[in-house]
Amino acid sequence: MVYLFVAIGLLVLLLGFMSIKTILFSKREQYGEIIHSNGKVNKNEIVKKLQDAIKIQTISNSDLSKTNYLEFEKFIDYLKKTFPLIHKQMNLTIINKYSLLYHWKGSDSTKKPGMIMAHIDVVPIEEGTENEWDVPPFSGQLKDGFVYGRGSMDIKIHLITAMQACENLIKQGVIPERDIYLSFGHDEEIGGSDGAANIVKYLKKEKISLDFVLDEGGAVNSGAIPSVKKAFAFVGVTEKGYSNLKISLTATGGHASTPPTNTSLGLVSKVICKLERNKMPKKLPIVVKNMIELLGKEMNFINQFIIANLWITKPLFMKIFAKPGTNGEALLRTTIAPTMANASMEPNVLPETASFTVNCRILHGDSGSKLLKHISKKCKGMNYRITNLRMEEPSNVSNTNSDFYKVLSGVIKGIYDETAVIPYLMLGGTDSRKFESISRNVYRFTPYYIPLEDMKRIHGTNERISVDNIVNCVRFFETLIKNC
Ligand SMILES: [Zn+2]
């Protein structure tokens, strides 16, 4: 009996302690100055410039022979014609024919330069979906307050509004304190090895290191937490690692009229099933924990209770948060996605060799070698061969105490009504990771507000951006450059 009372007493104490932690957790303030923007933006002028940029079909294609480089040349000419002051004031270096690096000299040479990035290329329109668009995808039409077209969200908006901000500032006679670089690669959508990678090489050769890099990435989103209306600004401070692996298997070929028990295609399918059933273990890296804690402040008491007491509730949290197929799961484990398969070329021929490719995103705390070990352990005895097509480890985590991060966060709060700024782990990849060797502070943020359900328009059908967003992006870049 005494033990029961002691147990109940301890439980009450524990619950009391956990409740106090929850209350303190929900009251924690987000610090940081708010930087207001006061620039006036010519709405019609910037809308027209973005529309014209969308009309130039700078489509990148993994098969380089299918890329129409004339469009890229047209785009460079278009920028020269559209932003004359930039081309007078800044030094332009063209890298590898189509990538652009602008250099704007600042007033204080003791300060390290900063960089704003974007990319010129866009993804193609998926064959057969052209007619699903409300307007032709490269028309740049303005409809119901939105500019439509491929590149309107990803990422000509970023490029054109950053240029417009610089053009406006030059017109006003503003000179930034530190040197500013604008870096626009031409092949980000296919890996950036011709564009951004060579821009980094060039900067290294010139012995230039950067105080900060700001690239495309997170945005201001509402709908991130079900039942919470409030929008959050998500700033990518790191990216998962990236790997493509080809897994192949050989078996007897011949005529399909007398098949063996398993063809090579049947055997590789078994490997796929094994990998889909045996995922990498879940983990809670610090960067994800910080993000969850900041978001948790806006959640209901039960969720806050769980998040404020992760020291004891972590297993429960991991179960609730990492539901299969969700962003939550992708934030908490290395993912392995079979994406491409290859076998016989004819329906009546047994394939001697069959193969498939997996696209893997490596979480912080895991590594390429842990991924390979996991695959070999789970597929033991299956007699496959593995070819490493691409392997990049998770990127560095950039500092949220840097001076630039404080300015970035202040400018976001100034434009988006004091919204909370959440540093987060990006699930997709950007060109900016290539700049880690010359900057410790690499951030990924596109200054527009998009409801979460609209994010699927990126790379999809009816990609569009509102006129309000276009104006806000110009205001954002103007204020940022003046204060960084
Ligand atoms: Zn992009």
Q: What's the CA-to-centroid distance between 380 and ligand 1, angstroms?
A: 38
For residue 20, cis peptide bond before it (omega within 30 degrees of 0): no
What's the pLDDT at 254?
87
pLDDT tens, 79-118?
Answer: 999 999 999 999 999 999 999 999 999 999 999 999 999 9
| Catalytic pick among 121, 215, 298, 366 | 121
Ordered by where they begin, the domains of the chain are 43-237+395-483 (3.40.630.10), 241-392 (3.30.70.360)
Active site residue 188: yes
Backbone phi, then psi, for 7, in 5-degree steps?
A: -60, -45
| pLDDT tops 70 at residue 30 | no
Q: How far is the CA of 217 from the centre of ligand 1 (A)?
A: 8
CA 277 to ligand 1 center in whole angstroms: 32
Q: Among residues 188, 194, 211, 239, which one is catalytic?
A: 188
Residue 436 has pLDDT above 90, yes or no: yes
Q: 438 CA distance to ligand 1 centroid (A)? A: 21
Q: What's the pLDDT tens digit per position in 166-197?
A: 999 999 999 999 999 999 999 999 989 999 99
Please tell me the distance between residue 326's alpha carbon and the centre of ligand 1 in angstroms. Answer: 22
Element (H, E) at 451: strand 442-451
Does the active-site annotation cover 454? no
User: Which is nearest to 303 in space by CA: 320, 324, 326?
Assistant: 320
The mean predicted confidence, pLDDT, of the chain is 93
Instruction: Decide: pTM greater than 0.85.
Output: yes
Confidence of residue 31 (pLDDT cuts 50, 70, 90): low
The DSSP annotation for 155-189 comes to: THHHHHHHHHHHHHHHHTT---SS-EEEEEES-GG
- 476 versus 383: the higher-pLDDT residue is 476
pLDDT of amino acid 227: 67
CA of 325 to the centre of ligand 1 (A): 23
Are the C-beta atoms of 210 and 115 separated by less than 8 Å? yes
The predicted structure's pLDDT at residue 32: 75
Distance of CA 290 from the midpoint of ligand 1 (Å): 25
Query: Model confidence over 297-329: pLDDT tens digits?
Result: 888 888 888 888 888 899 998 988 888 988 889
Q: What is the arithmetic mean of pLDDT over 26-51?
A: 86
**308 Cα distance to chain centroid:** 28
